[in-house]
Amino acid sequence: MWNTCAGRVLMVILVCIILDILAYAVVEHDAVPLSTPVSLAVGKFRSPRFFSFTPEPYRVNIDIPSSGIATDPVRANWILRSGGAIIARGTSDANLGHGFRGSDETLQEIGCFTSEAFGIYDFDVDFMNDNSRLDGAKPRLDVEGDFEGVIFLKWCFIILGAVLAVLFGTGLGLAMVIKGQAILQERKSRSG
């Protein structure tokens, strides 16, 4: 079947579906390349290594679930490293007021940076004030994409994948019907 014209079209659609899934995975990964538990006690914290496929702007947030709504802003200095070299640095004081307080979480932005394509990073945070009373709420350090259109891109890939899957299924069904009709015609011509 794969050596016919219809088979080749189906193969191309199948390859497009696989590429669509991979592209969606890249967008999904780059939306939040790091989300890790963090203690808000005074002191230094080094994140696990994380990477970015594409050069994009990112926000660095402290995410505190609602059971630990922060009353005092988290104060921290931070350094972003790649291969030991300092790529960016900043302080949460420059970002006070950025973030939000919702019914289920408090999100405080402590900085922002722009990644390089295929960059591998470590993020060092030096917490300057003690918010360790919030550690029971399991706060997280999140690096989140600050680029416009992430949700739009995700939906584009989802819709494209669905359309390609429908085309593949329809094409496969038609190929099977055509092959079945050819077999029936061959049997009829043999019998009579």
Q: How far apart are CA 14 and CA 68, in angstroms?
A: 47
Between residues 4 and 86, the one the model is more confident about: 86
pLDDT tens, residue by residue, 11-45: 777 776 676 666 655 555 557 788 899 999 999 99
Instruction: Give mean pLDDT, residues 39-63.
Output: 87
As assigned by CATH, the class of the 32-147 domain is mainly beta
pLDDT of 171 higher than 80: no
- Mean pLDDT to the nearest integer, 66-86: 81
pLDDT value of residue 21: 66
Give the whole-angstrom CA distance, residue 192 versus residue 184: 12
- pLDDT of the residue at 22: 63
Token pair belonging to 38: 């963090």
* pLDDT tens, residue by residue, 176-190: 777 777 778 888 888
Give pLDDT tens digits for 101-148. Answer: 556 677 788 888 888 888 899 999 999 988 888 888 899 998 888 655
**Would you list the DSSP string of 71-122?**
SSPP-EEEEEEETTEEEEEEEGGGGTT-EEE-SSEEEEEEEEEEPPTTEEEE
In this predicted structure, what is the pLDDT of residue 103? 60
In whole angstroms, what is the distance from residue 6 CA to residue 115 CA? Answer: 43
Residue extents of the structural domains in the chain: 5-24+153-191, 32-147
Residues 64-70: what's their mean pLDDT? Answer: 65
Residues 6+ apart with CB under 8 A from 176: none
Confidence class for position 98, pLDDT limits 50, 70, 90: low
**What is the residue-averaged pLDDT of the chain?**
77
